[in-house]
Amino acid sequence: MGKVTGFKEFDRKTEAYRPVDLRIKDYGEIFTTHHDKAHIQEQGARCMDCGVPFCQSENGCPVDNLIPEFNDLIYHNKWQEALARLLKTNNFPEFTGRVCPAPCEGSCVLGINNPAVAIKNIEQAIIDKGFDKGWMKPYTVEYRTGKKIGIIGSGPAGLAAADELNKIGHSVTIFERDDRIGGLLMYGIPSMKLGKDVVDRRVKLMQDSGVEFITNVDVGKDITTTRLQQDFDALVFTTGASKARDLLVDNRQAQGVHLAMEYLAKNTKSLLNTGREDASDLSAKGKDVIVIGGGDTGTDCIGTALRQGAKSIVNFELMGKPQVERASNNPWPLWPLIYRVDYGHAEVTKIFGKDPRQYHLMTQSFIKDDQGAVIGLKTVSVDFKDGQLIQIDGSEKTWHTQLVLLSMGFVSPEHYLSDDANIELDECGNYKAKYGQYTTSQKGIFTAGDCRRGQSLVVWAINEGRGVAAKVNEYLV
């Protein structure tokens, strides 16, 4: 695949983000606005004729993208053919090309002893060119089956399920409780990492293809599932894992302590509604900000707080600093658990002179003033021995802060919908359904995505959305 000797001739080189000094002044995407065609083709040339492409294996791409094939097509300058190959397996490469951590690169065969092929850059370049050239057009449905499906939740799983079912010829309606379509794509991921015009562009394409979207309707509250079952032949729950993990320590209710998703959603909604970057009623401007918890959401909080004008930013992590290289118990082709510098870390380092992350820290309590506002918090350093967390005596410390953002992951979906539908939950509180089957305990009700599997990646949500669509189709025919 690609150029036979390309992996020997060319080094890995990813597309640079916009310079920090420029990108922190706005909420525009951090990515460069123009893909260098020669660079992308050179990276495609690095793809090896490896025999067994682990990039699209179980440890690689959850949607089974035909990665070596589109790499080869790009190297040979066959962009439209590469787009067709990419769309065979991935409904929304413009999303995954921006926000997926690229497990495909972690399992790239070249990555055993050399830097992996820049697959993520190639994927984004292909789909961006597809839209720029006008190759992305509404899907023409030649025959309608007469079957109607209602999908609750408009995140990546719901959108993927709708896209697949609509192409088959079923009539699909998506219900979204918020005021805009997209779920976490719209309000969970900030604009600098996924432009909302990119989401709206895809939603418009699906609308023009025949999918119906209904916003501001909270199924389970505004309308019952029993009522929907009278109107639809099948229902699909793709509500995501929106119940956040909280930090239940003293003074948790102090003003200024917020869940990360509340903070991110308010900022994005304010930006979209007003067009102003300083209109959010939950702002970090002039404040000492502490983000508790790492991961993508923690990084997004860091990047947002910086753009709002935070006075200082610190990020607490319970675990230790990862190694630069793979550990012996983390071999290829598993996802490499190594030290990474994401966009928010790089931005804070450039502006404040040091990485915001502090490791091995556990928050013991919040401190509030007489008016109930948070003014600080107390931590203790911890370590792990034989899998047990140990607090280190004498390591207690007090930190000043006026805004604390809790970014510690999500535990399950909210349960008012499952209660209304009377469907069973699994031991983790997710909607109970077997992977590959997606059937709940109630006939005609299916589920997929984070609400079924637990907090995961956008690409896994697309995988499950495609999977549940196939099972719904089997049920209907």
> pLDDT tens across 439-470, in order?
999 999 999 999 999 999 999 999 999 999 99
Model confidence pLDDT, tens digit, residues 136-195: 999 999 999 999 999 999 999 999 999 999 999 999 999 999 999 999 999 999 999 999
Same domain, 398 and 441: no
Which DSSP symbol is given to 82?
A: H
Boundary-marking domain end, from 348, 373, 408: 408
pLDDT band (50, 70, 90) for residue 429? very high
Q: Give dist(CA 195, CA 172) in Å, integer.
A: 26
Is residue 402 located within the same domain as residue 417?
A: no
Looking at the fold, whether 454 and 366 belong to one and the same domain comes out as no
In a domain, 1, yes or no: no
How much is the mean pLDDT over the chain?
96
Q: Are residues 193 and 311 in the same domain?
A: no
User: Percentage of residues in the chain with pLDDT exceeding 70?
Assistant: 99
Tens digits of per-residue pLDDT, 292-349? Answer: 999 999 999 999 999 999 999 999 999 999 999 999 999 999 999 999 999 999 999 9
State the pLDDT at residue 34: 85
pLDDT band (50, 70, 90) for residue 32:
confident
User: CA 131 to CA 127: how far, in whole Å?
Assistant: 6
If pLDDT is split at 50, 70 and 90, which confidence band does 387 have? confident
Q: Give a yes or no: residue 13 inside a domain.
A: yes
Please indicate, yes or no, whether residues 78 and 127 belong to a single structural domain of this protein. yes
Instruction: Mark which of 387, 408, 429 sits at the end of a domain.
Output: 408
Q: 454 near 147, Cβ under 8 Å?
A: no
Q: How many domains does the chain have?
A: 3
Structure tokens at 196: 């909302």
How many whole angstroms separate alpha carbon 43 and alpha carbon 7? 9
Domain final residue, candidates 408, 436, 451: 408
**In a 3-state reduction of DSSP, which class is residue 250?**
strand
468 and 434 both lie in a single domain: yes
With respect to residue 139, please indicate whether it lies within any of the assigned structural domains. Answer: no
The CA distance from 282 to 270, in Å, is 10
Whether 434 is in a domain gets the answer yes
**Alpha carbon distance 80, 351 (integer Å):** 41
- 387/443 same-domain check: no
Average pLDDT over residues 60-66: 96
First-to-last C-alpha distance (Å) of the chain: 40
Comparing 286 with 386, the larger pLDDT belongs to 286
pLDDT at 300: 98
The residue-averaged pLDDT of 52-74 equals 95
The answer on 421 and 402 residing in a single domain is no
Residues 152 and 122 in one domain: no
Judgement on whether residues 450 and 310 belong to the same structural domain of the protein:
no
pLDDT in tens, 218-240: 999 999 999 999 999 999 999 99
Which residues constitute the domain of residue 90?
6-132
Whether the CB-CB separation of 258 and 373 falls below 8 Å is answered with: no
Residue 43, in any domain of the structure: yes
Dist. CA 238–CA 250, nearest whole Å? 35
CB 114 within 8 A of CB 40: no
Place of tokens 């729950």: 237
**Residues 401, 252 share a domain:** yes
Residue 53 belongs to domain with CATH number: 1.10.1060.10
Looking at residue 1, what is its pLDDT? 61
Q: How many CB atoms neighbour CB 335 within 10 A?
A: 16
Q: Does residue 401 lie within any of the structural domains? A: yes
The answer to whether 82 touches 129, Cβ cutoff 8 Å, is: no
Using the predicted structure, report yes or no on whether residue 58 has a pLDDT greater than 90: no
% of the chain surpassing 90 pLDDT = 96
Q: Is residue 140 part of a domain?
A: no
Statement to judge: residues 42 and 85 lie in one domain = yes
Q: What is the CATH number of the domain that holds 403?
A: 3.50.50.60
Residue 45 pLDDT > 70, yes or no? yes
Residue 469 maps to a domain: yes
Residue 72 pLDDT greater than 70, yes or no: yes
